[in-house]
Structure 1
């Protein structure tokens, strides 16, 4: 083969390889969850299409604030950052299964940690496997979480594209709920009937939901979550007065 033809042939191979790699990385399934769960005697997939008729948005993002109380006074100082947001996503599968995800989003980073008590939970129909996690990383890359940092109230997310690398528990005792509701709280342990600035999720209306209340074999949870809302256009946000 002439040298010129060989060079052109090699260039063509390089181009094909580049395009194949590019599209395999960039083309993720829309409205699809693809996670693997494996550990000691445990191995199964959380793999399915999301029901976007039941999932109004791909999550909500609320400006994060932290409070601290000095030991010498009773004054509580609240600090906040326009770059930090608490993101909560509640996703329904077409099979009836349910996934809950809570994490701290930092607009200056491309990854973060899930919430220490309510980070990740998955539950399905009666008899199906349930998994929880409160430790691990979430990766959103450059545009996986479309948060508008100029919005100072809660905003709905038009899409969510994240990768998970978590350590959790395959539930053998205790339970995870298919539907978590919010309640007011002052200690993040118990619900209260009095209005407060803090809220948590509950499955019984009395206590705050905590993934640490279940037990079972330790597992690794890895994979991707992809969601695109039917009701919220990309590039816009929908605000709500609810405090997460």
Structure 2
């Protein structure tokens, strides 16, 4: 009985340790039509340079009704839907890959769509290639993403547990070993601008947007798998 208990405790400790080790982990597979697995990516988020799991900004919409009362005509009614947020995340892995991803979150749903303009990009590091696109879905599990839905301001995300399925293009061209992509304002989805706009894009030179790869070496692929992030320096909401 003692030996059984001892084995159980050892296995429990091992499992618990693995759980801690994998709380900042991406397990992704890049698939195309010709091969079962074009590339399998397993990376650990580097929390020394990834200061948060991302940020969430309220996505509001306003509704109004126009009506006529005795002697007056006016517009009434304005509501904000605080269940919806626009999430953007940049994860830097210990093997120097970066994953930039933007998606729509709704606390009343279990999954959301990739932002159709900014989308996602996985590039650099040991991977050494680029996958990017503007289509796909992100699924969050029960309490799988830390967002305070009562907040009406942009907030840092301290943790998430996501499952993704992204449609994009894979380029065989080599990318930089340390590709950290900032964002810039854009009005046409191609060029960066110093003016404030409602649309942003990822850029490598702060002059032009990184757009969907249409070169001859690009092939359509699907990225599927899970991403876990836990930023220890962000206080949970």
Q: TM-score, normalised by structure 1?
A: 0.72
Q: CA contact under 8 A between 1:117 and 1:211: conserved in structure 2?
A: no
2:90 match: 90
Task: Report the aligned-residue RMSD.
Answer: 3.1
Counterparts of 2:104 and 2:118, CA distance in 1: 11
* Residue equivalent to 2:70: none
Does 2:135 align with 1:135?
Answer: yes
CA contact (8 A) 2:118 2:201 kept: no
Q: Any conservation in 1 of the 2:29–2:225 contact (CA below 8 Å)?
A: yes
Q: Is the 8 A contact 1:118 1:209 kept in 2?
A: no
Deviation at 1:231, TM superposition (A): 0.6
C-alpha distance in 2, partners of 1:149/1:111?
Answer: 16
Select which of 20, 30, 34 maps to 2:23: 30
Deviation at 1:129? 2.5
Shift of 1:172: 3.3
| Contact 2:117 2:201 (8 Å CA) reproduced | no
Per-residue CA deviation, residues 25-45 of structure 1 (Å, 9 max, x unaligned), is xx6931000001121256111
Correspondence for 1:151: 151
| Mapped pair 1:121 → 2:116 | no
Deviation at 1:211, TM superposition (A): 3.2
Shift in Å, 1:199: 3.8
What CA distance in whole angstroms lies between the structure 2 residues aligned with 1:162 and 1:174?
28
CA gap of 1:197–1:223, structure 2 versus 1, over 3 A, is: closer
- Cα distance in 2 for partners of 1:129, 1:207 equals 19
Bigger shift: residues 104-113 or 189-198: 189-198
Tell me how far 1:130 sits from its aligned partner: 1.9
Cα–Cα, structure 1 residues 204 and 79, in superposed 2: closer, same or farther, change >3 Å?
Answer: farther
Q: Deviations over 1:105-124 (max 9, x none)?
A: 01110101111232221112
User: Is the partner of 1:140 in helix, strand or coil?
Assistant: strand
Task: Give CA-to-partner distance per residue, 1:165-224, whole Å, 9 cap, x none.
Answer: 222211136969822223233344432223445543322222333335566111121100
DSSP 3-state at the match of 2:145: coil
Residue aligning to 1:200? 201
Change (3 A) 1:97 1:174: closer
TM-score between the two structures when normalised by the length of structure 2: 0.74
Distance 1:159 1:213, change over 3 A: farther
Alignment of 1:33-52 (within 5 A): 33-39=26-32, 40-41=34-35, 43-52=38-47
Residue 230 of structure 2 is aligned to residue 228 of structure 1: yes
Say if 1:205 and 1:65 are closer, same or farther in 2 by CA, change over 3 A: farther
- Paired position in structure 2 for 1:73: none
Task: Check 1:97–1:158 CA distance in 2 against 1; reply closer, same or farther (3 A cut).
Answer: same
Are 2:57 and 1:62 aligned?
Answer: yes
Q: Which moved more, 1:203-212 or 1:149-158?
A: 203-212
1:128–1:175 Cα change, 3 Å: closer
1:219 counterpart (214, 218, 221): 221
